[in-house]
A and B are shown apart, each in its own frame.
Chain A
Amino acid sequence: MEEVVRQHYTDKEKREIFDHEFLPHINSMYNFGYRLTLDRDDAKDLVQDTYFKAFRFIESFQKGTNAKAWLFRILKNSFINDYRKKVKEPNKVDYQEVEQYYNSEDVDRQITPDLRVDALKDMIGDEISNALNALDVDFRTVIILCDLEGFKYEEMAKILDIPIGTVRSRLHRARQLLKEKLSEYAKSMGYKNS
Chain B
Amino acid sequence: MNLPTNPFVSNDGKKPTCMEMLQLILDGQDSQEQREYFKNHMDNCMPCFKGYHVDMTIKELLKSKCCGGEAPDELVAKIKSQIASTIS
Residues of A whose CB lies within 8 Å of any CB of B are 11, 14-15, 18, 23, 26-27, 29-31, 34-35, 40, 44, 47-48, 51-52, 55, 107-108, 112, 115-117, 120-121, 123, 126, 128-129, 132, 143-144, 146-148, 152-153, 168, 171-172, 175, 178-179, 182
Contacts and interface: CB of A to CB of B under 8 A. Distances in A.
Contacts of B72: 30, 40, 44
Q: For chain B, give the interface size range.
A: 20 to 34
Contacts of A116: 54
Interface in B48-80: 51, 53-55, 57-59, 61-63, 65-72, 75-76, 78-80
B29 A27 contact: no
Contacts of B86: 55
11 contacts: A18-B83, A26-B75, A30-B72, A47-B79, A51-B83, A55-B83, A112-B51, A120-B57, A120-B58, A143-B62, A171-B23
Contacts of A147: 58-59, 62-63
Contacts of A182: 58
Contacts of A121: 57
B79 A15 contact: no
B66 A175 contact: no
Given A44-B75, A112-B51, A178 B58 contact: yes
A129 B53 CA distance: 20
Main secondary structure of the interface of A (DSSP, over half): helix
B11 interface: no
Contacts of A14: 87
B66 A128 contact: yes
Interface of B: 17, 19-20, 23, 27, 29, 47, 51, 53-55, 57-59, 61-63, 65-72, 75-76, 78-80, 82-83, 86-87
A26 B71 contact: yes
B69 A27 contact: yes
Contact of A129 (B19, B59, B65, B71): B65
B29 A153 contact: yes
Q: Residue among A108, A128, A144 with the most chain B CB within 10 A?
A: A128
Contacts of A128: 58, 61-62, 65-66
Q: Residue among B17, B78, B79, B86 with the most chain A CB within 10 A?
A: B79
Contacts of B61: 120, 123, 128
Contact of B19 (A23, A26, A172): A172
A47 B59 CA distance: 25
